[in-house]
Amino acid sequence: MGTDVDIEASGLLDGLEGRARRDRAVLVAWLIEQGFDIEHVRGSVGAPLLLPANRVLGDDGEYVSAQQVCESTGIDLDLLQRLQGAVGLPRTDDPNAAVLLRADAEAAAHAKLFIDVGVDPDETVALMRALMEGLGQAAAMMRLAAFKILMRPGASEIELAQASEELVRKTEPRLGPMIEDLLRLRLRQSLEVEAVNAAERAAGALPGARQVSVAFADVAGFTRLGETVPAEELHRLASRLMDLAYTLAVVPVRFIKAIGDEVMLVSTDPGPLLHTVLDLEAAARANGLPRLRIGVASGAAVTRGGDWFGRPVNVASRVTSAARPGSVLVAESTHDLVGSVAGLTWTTAGSRRLKGLRDEIKLFRLAR
């Protein structure tokens, strides 16, 4: 489409006045010069300045149907649609409708490599969902970091569009190798922690339930803080807690996930986990975070999709809710495993019936 498009009559300036209207008109004219169709601009959901950067990231305006992807990859249509849902793509009722961005459809279809090596389809879908959750957090942080670089007082829309495109062009070629290297690192660490033991090798069975110790830590009074502290500050507190937990978690202790203001750690050896949570509580105080509540429990659990499930997970979560601000509360299951560990002291906290648990749990307060 040529540059003789009547931008004023296109509807793309509706609702804008003054400088905002002039900036948008200049941006639209430049986008058309760059080869963007007017309908592509119109469909950019209020953010046309990101079109050039998104084009570098795969949004080239080329669409395919689910059926085309199936024919080119050999993947089953039902499985493809499940995989698309796992990575956040909308389901299409008509498999012959070319409504899937080619790059996105191919990204979902890459999961076929797991099917090809014998991974169960249900596990493949769960794996892709877990992968996207982790990448989603990374992408959100990358976005914030990028906008901090790009946002300048008084910058026009076309300046932001050009700057964002240039930034993406510089970084995009190196993102793939970086993610590949980090994934290999994480796979090696995971395989080392989840090494198949002798009994499992003899039985020829997959690793199942195993003895682990689980810890949760959350910010005391986080809900009440939401009534007086701006949302941005709450996000900063939660992010800082996650950063501290991730930094302090050294093998065999593993950082599992963050949920709002709560972080979860798991270890096959309870001793290092107890030292880690004490370090985390101290680091939180040193960094000006509100006091933490920390709970620990041990027992048999299973891992699926990078997460852990089982009684010790439930008990540790409930123990955390019962902990006082600034304290580490440990279930008897962990206390009995650890015994006497240098540098740790125990105080009996009595037995309690915690919400959702059938039996009373004997508890201990941990300190250095």
Q: Is residue 312 part of a domain?
A: yes
219 and 100 in a common domain: no
Q: What is the pLDDT of residues 256-306, one digit of tens each?
A: 988 878 899 999 999 999 999 999 999 999 988 888 999 999 998 888 767
Please check the confidence at residue 179 and state whether its pLDDT lies above 70.
Answer: yes
250 and 150 in a common domain: no
Last residue of one domain, picked from the residues 193, 223, 251: 193
Q: What is the pLDDT of residues 152-163, one digit of tens each?
A: 788 888 988 898
269 and 220 in a common domain: yes
Q: What percent of the chain has pLDDT over 70?
A: 89
215 and 362 in a common domain: yes
Regarding predicted confidence, which is higher, 312 or 1?
312
Give the structural domain span for 286: 207-367
Q: Is residue 48 part of a domain?
A: no
Q: Is residue 28 part of a domain?
A: no
270 and 318 in a common domain: yes
- Least confident among 114-118, 227-231, 307-311, 347-351: 227-231
Give residue 139's Cα distance to chain centre.
9
Its pTM stands at: 0.57
Highest mean pLDDT of the ranges 135-149, 184-198, 264-278? 264-278
Measured CA to CA, the distance from residue 53 to residue 57 in angstroms comes to: 7
Give the pLDDT score at 366: 93
Last residue of one domain, picked from the residues 164, 193, 222: 193
Closest CA to 318 of 258, 283, 366, 359: 359
Q: What is the pLDDT of residues 66-108, one digit of tens each?
A: 899 889 888 888 888 888 888 888 777 888 998 888 888 888 8
Q: What is the pLDDT of residues 205-237, one digit of tens each?
A: 556 678 899 999 998 876 566 556 666 677 778
Q: Is residue 360 part of a domain?
A: yes
pLDDT-derived band of residue 196, with 50, 70 and 90 as boundaries?
Answer: low
Measured CA to CA, the distance from residue 53 to residue 58 in angstroms comes to: 9
Measured CA to CA, the distance from residue 319 to residue 216 in angstroms comes to: 9
Q: Is residue 34 part of a domain?
A: no
CB contact burial 2-28 (16+ within 10 A = b; e otherwise):
eeebebeebebbeeeeeeeeebbbbbb
165 and 91 in a common domain: yes
Q: Is residue 334 part of a domain?
A: yes
155 and 76 in a common domain: yes
Last residue of one domain, picked from the residues 161, 193, 225: 193
225 and 181 in a common domain: no
- As for how many domains the chain has, the answer is 2
Closest CA to 261 of 287, 283, 240: 240
Regarding predicted confidence, which is higher, 282 or 57?
282
188 and 277 in a common domain: no
Residue 266 belongs to a domain with what CATH number?
A: 3.30.70.1230
pLDDT-derived band of residue 149, with 50, 70 and 90 as boundaries?
Answer: confident
Give the pLDDT score at 328: 95
Q: Is residue 113 part of a domain?
A: yes
- Kindly report the average pLDDT of the chain as a whole number: 84
Is 20 strand, coil or helix? helix
255 and 167 in a common domain: no
Give the pLDDT score at 1: 40
**How many other CB atoms sit within 10 Å of the CB of residue 157?**
21
Which tokens go with 44? 């950019």
215 and 126 in a common domain: no
265 and 184 in a common domain: no
Q: Is residue 90 part of a domain?
A: yes
Give the pLDDT score at 358: 78
